């Protein structure tokens, strides 16, 4: 059983399109994250939800909108895609939210490689 799954794995699209990436975790974790990994492998957090509540909202364009219908799912919708959005997007989950006393090790999904043409 896959602990953190993402769909699709690859996404190739034209500039200006709108696309969504879905993430699901079956670990029973309370917190989920979206990260962007650029071509130089630099990993930057974008959003985090704890029990469906947004707790981290980094400075990203408002074309990016996360949605958490329940604590096992966190989706990322991107409007008006731009060339600079091309990257690998990772979803992750952890038991706590970083401010708790648990170890909060994050479990990462396989990634979605987004290519904007």
Residues near other proteins (CB under 8 A): 33, 40-45, 48, 55-56, 58, 90, 92, 97-99, 103-111
Shortest distance, position 5 Cβ to other proteins, whole Å: 11
Considering the complex, state which of residue 36 and residue 78 has its C-beta at the smaller distance from other proteins. 36
Considering the complex, state which of residue 76 and residue 92 has its C-beta at the smaller distance from other proteins. 92
CB 39 within 8 A of CB 29: no
Instruction: Tell me the C-alpha distance between 36 and 112, whole Å.
Output: 10
Considering the complex, state which of residue 17 and residue 102 has its C-beta at the smaller distance from other proteins. 102
Shortest distance, position 92 Cβ to other proteins, whole Å: 8
Shortest distance, position 19 Cβ to other proteins, whole Å: 20
Which DSSP state fits 85?
G
Q: What is the DSSP annotation of 88-113?
A: EEEEEEESS-SSSSS----EE---EE
Which DSSP state fits 78?
E
């Amino acid at each position: 059983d896959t602990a953190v799954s993402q769909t699709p794995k690859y996404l190739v699209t034209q500039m200006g399109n709108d696309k969504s990436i879905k993430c699901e975790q079956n670990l029973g974790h309370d917190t989920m994250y979206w990260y962007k990994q650029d071509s130089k492998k630099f990993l930057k957090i974008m959003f985090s939800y704890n029990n469906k509540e947004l707790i981290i909202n980094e400075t990203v364009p408002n074309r990016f909108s996360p949605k958490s219908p329940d604590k096992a799912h966190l989706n990322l919708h991107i409007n008006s895609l731009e060339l600079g959005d091309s990257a690998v997007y990772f979803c992750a989950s952890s038991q706590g939210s970083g401010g708790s006393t648990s170890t909060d090790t994050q479990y990462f999904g396989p990634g979605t490689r987004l290519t904007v043409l």
